[in-house]
Chain A
Amino acid sequence: MNRFLLFAMRRRTIATALALLVLVGTIALVATWRPSIAPIAIPKVSAFTQASVERGAVLAKLGDCAVCHTSEGGAPLAGGRPLATPFGTLFATNITPDRQTGIGVWSRAAFIRAMRDGVRRDGAHLYPALPYEHFTHVTDEDLGDLYAFLMTRRPVRATPPPNRLIFPLGFRPLLAGWKLLFLQKGQVKSDPTKTAEWNRGAYLAEGLGHYAACHSPRNLAGGEERARAYAGGVAEGWRAPALDASNPAARRWTQEALYTFLRTGISPDHSAAAGPMAPVVESLSTVPEEDVQAIATYFASKLGGGSPVAPGRVVERTALAAAAEPAGAVLFAGACAGCHGVGAPMTAQQRPSLALSSDLRDADPTNAIQSVLQGIEPPVAGRGPKMPPFAASLTDTQVAATLAYARARYTDRAAWPKLAKTVRKARREGTQP
């Protein structure tokens, strides 16, 4: 075939491809277009019943709205908080009822569409950083109460910084394709073989609570892997532990232990809530007890692993660990033993032994590393566990040595490979906005 013919054919192929692309693009644009919903006059507080606003306040806690929609030191719900994702950094929007910068002119229908379909009042698609693939399961009544709560907050004029996304994700119509793949609408199916409490827990967890958004692995497109729901995920440089049978706990998570943990941030049979879990505990410390009981019941049925009855196996291999990790043994004695050692004051306060820590037993060392680097703040102000951060006092190599020793001493699991490298990476990710 001569060169000219080849060139002509190639040109025709390119032309056909281009035409096809334009056609597909047009169809996609038409299919993904959503109408704007007319702005309304800002509703008066008297437009909502007191009971509805109160129910909405609880639902906002259960959904952790303020956790993402409040910037550090900023006004509640006024947005601006950065969320780092593999696709760039998104900034939470202002969901106070401000006319220009918030949701003041959003009707109830516009709010419900945003929560169900991930579409802004003006018709633009919202990024799934708003976990609408979960919020879509929430009932009209609950969304109405949530709307009543938000619309009766103090309006704050605040515009979040623009999102910083990798090309071409700034083009919102693409999100319609994402939704086609990952947004499954409809209510959470109730299971008649389970108790009412379990079903209530399922509704709260799968809907507003959006627990799978952190605790499930995500695929390359950022969608939750439904087939591996609750097999563990990532959140802000921390690991969201598996909430299925692969959970690495030394003692199995019972309903009672989960309830105590979710309500107070610590369980005497496990360990303390740290990192992004702390604000979740703070929210759950104030909602009605029966909602937390229901969530605990639901997850207790999903979690397996560990010894089903206390006290279970408690590993402590001091001599073996000291022989295997002598440098770590020295650092542990000087940095950790004051609290975690035999006879330390913390042990007298019923605080769990490190042998019960899921973080040391997990195949992924991320949370053990982040706890050492960043420490643990009491999730509920003024009470609960507190651990100082060691980021300034220990180098990456020293953190790795200390944790290698702790893993050898308190677990029977194989040493973490390439630990110092993982510490270096975790330190970088933990200090990002």
Chain B
Amino acid sequence: MTITVSVNGQVQRLEADPATPLLYVLREDLGLNGAKYGCGLGQCGACTVQIDGKAAFSCVTPLAAVEGREVRTVEGLGTIDRMNPLQQAFVEEQAAQCGYCIAGMIMRAQALLDINPTPSDAEIRSHMQPNLCRCGTHMRILRAIRRASGQAA
């Protein structure tokens, strides 16, 4: 079955079982390895991408659900040479330790900054609540988001 999805602004025609989790399609069919497989149950946030501008768990989103919709992954934000401001802030704050959660963290944080460019600390914490980091770099991640929003880190 062919399903048409827009990923990072490019229309993709995908041949896959429509029940396949979006995460598998991104990683295996499109080679977009930013989003990670963490728990597979929508509980950890490592697989977070944006669907129509909102942060969503790609591991529990069937491909059929994104037909005709706009998916954005960390690869759609910037490149190693030309990082977007949020990615740059994550580097400057050295927010990654093992790095496994970071693509998901960035995609969730970007979804917040897109609708609220200068969120309060409480708003950042409440928005980021679904994403876990097992290394414990939460304080650096919070600093990076504050830095990207132009507020004192």
Question: Which residues of A approach B to under 8 Å, CB–CB?
Answer: 72-73, 327, 330-331, 333-336, 338-339, 345, 386-388, 390-395, 398
Contact B65 A394 (CB under 8 A): yes
From the candidates B41, B51, B56, B63, name the one contacting A338 in the complex (CB within 8 A): B41
- Judged by a CB distance under 8 angstroms, whether B122 is at the interface is yes
- Judged by a CB distance under 8 angstroms, whether B119 is at the interface is no
- With both beta carbons as reference points, the residue of chain B lying nearest to A333 in the complex is identified as B19
From the candidates B41, B55, B62, name the one contacting A392 in the complex (CB within 8 A): B55
If A331-B65, A338-B60, A393-B61 touch, does A388 touch B42 (CB 8 Å cutoff)? yes
Contact A398 B65 (CB under 8 A): yes
Contact with A along B122-134 (1 / 0, CB 8 A): 1000100010000
**B21 contacts across to A, CB distance below 8 A:** 334
- In the assembled complex, the CB of B123 is this many whole angstroms from the nearest CB of chain A, namely 9
When chains A and B are docked, how far (Å) is the Cα of A36 from the Cα of B59?
Answer: 60
The 8 sampled A-B contact pairs (Cβ below 8 Å) are A334-B19, A336-B60, A338-B60, A388-B57, A392-B56, A393-B57, A393-B60, A393-B61
From the candidates B19, B51, B56, B57, name the one contacting A330 in the complex (CB within 8 A): B19
Contact B51 A393 (CB under 8 A): yes
- With both beta carbons as reference points, the residue of chain A lying nearest to B66 in the complex is identified as A393
Contact with A along B101-137 (1 / 0, CB 8 A): 0000000000000000000001000100010000000
- Judged by a CB distance under 8 angstroms, whether B40 is at the interface is yes
Contact B40 A393 (CB under 8 A): no
- In the assembled complex, the CB of B41 is this many whole angstroms from the nearest CB of chain A, namely 6
Instruction: List residues 42-83 of chain B with CB under 8 A from any CB of chain A.
Output: 42-43, 51-52, 54-57, 59-66, 69
When chains A and B are docked, how far (Å) is the Cα of A334 from the Cα of B60?
Answer: 6
- With both beta carbons as reference points, the residue of chain A lying nearest to B129 in the complex is identified as A377
- Judged by a CB distance under 8 angstroms, whether B94 is at the interface is no
Contact A334 B40 (CB under 8 A): no
- Judged by a CB distance under 8 angstroms, whether B85 is at the interface is no
